[in-house]
Amino acid sequence: MRKLRVLVIVHPKLVPPENTKGIIVNEMPWRTEHFVINQLKNNGHNVRILPVGSDLKVIRIARDEFKPHIAFNLLECFDDETLFDHNVVSYLELLKLPYTGCNPKGLILSRDKSLCKKIMYYHRIKTPRFDVALMGKKFKRSSKLVFPLIVKSLTEEGSVGISQSSVVDNDEKLQERIRFIHDKALSHALVESYIEGKDVYVSMIGNKRVGQFPILELKFKNAPDNIHQIATSRVKWNSDYRKKHGIDTELVKNFPPELSKKIFTTSRRIYKVLNFSGYARLDLRLTPSGKIFFLEANPNPDIARTEDFAYSAKKAGLDYSMLLDKILKLGLSN
């Protein structure tokens, strides 16, 4: 690939230090930024880091001064508001500056989980029954929402607000959990049917032509029988907890070929109907009988060298260097 001038857009608090000697990088909040920036430099690209907080004007200034070929977008929010992430990408489009990752439409459709699920229903893609508990309003459960239920934030990602207590089996616990999401996550609450089964993750890459990496599943090897096998905040972010209970994401090894094909076909449909571009990870729930339920779509997922997306890509033959150059190429061609 030709060498590019790459403007890496990051949150001001996630600018990695130049010297990481003595630091366990993978435990730092800026690990993704560190891995991406250093790999782009190792690939021979001319990299400039641009912190973007609450002022889009700095992007235009950097474009005029640095004249980048492309912006590598690592922002997940704007002005510390996750719902505003698509506005940054829209501004890049107004500047006619190519960028990596998903387009504004795909970000908007996936960010609102209730809207995303309505789109799935329209396209006859299975997703759990759900309702939305709005902040400031009393929630009345529909008779169609049968326990057990799981309560999540409507807009937050990264398993924010999800714990074993998120799965509820009566109205008292339901109301209690809704209040928790309203108060702690500061968002509306998504109330959906709890589907027994296992979480499977499909990493995808592409614009008009979409490729898929090997399927991963969330495994609970030593966890107690009485816990719900879900990706709680603890599972996602607490390495000691994961080690204690043998929790990890692994390549799927024993799925029948027809099931794997069905998962890939469903995933490709989801990617297309949500108008995704660049790269994404889809979270699905697989029941013991082989039914596939859509849970969540994550455009621009974490692409740290040590995270699931890069791991799955490597198993497909794309090492980290090749993966980042592939993402750049897609951004330039979008």
Kindly report the CATH number that applies to the domain delimited by 5-101: 3.40.50
Domain 197-333 has CATH 3.30.470.20: yes
Q: What is the per-residue pLDDT for 223?
A: 78
Q: What is the per-residue pLDDT for 245?
A: 80
Q: What is the per-residue pLDDT for 27?
A: 87
This prediction's pTM: 0.92
CA distance 99 to 118: 29
Q: What is the per-residue pLDDT for 209?
A: 94
CA distance 121 to 231: 23
Name the β-bridge partners of 191.
131, 151
Neighbours of 333 (CB within 10 A): 10
Q: What is the per-residue pLDDT for 237?
A: 78
Q: Look up residue 316 and give its two tokens.
A: 């497909």
- The domain made up of 129-193 has a fold known as Dna Ligase; domain 1 (3.30.1490)
| Residues in CB range of 240: below 8 A, 6 or more apart | none
| Residues in CB range of 304: below 8 A, 6 or more apart | 26, 31, 32, 35, 36, 310
User: What parts of the chain have a pLDDT lower than 70?
Assistant: 158
CA distance 143 to 216: 35
Domain boundaries, the chain: 5-101, 129-193, 197-333
Q: What is the per-residue pLDDT for 265?
A: 96
Q: What is the per-residue pLDDT for 83?
A: 84
DSSP line for 216-251: EEEEESS--TTS--S--HHHHH-HHHHHHHTEEEEE
Task: Dump pLDDT digits (tens) for 204-246.
Answer: 999 999 999 999 999 988 878 788 888 888 888 788 888 888 8
Same fold, 5-101 and 129-193: no
Q: What is the per-residue pLDDT for 158?
A: 65
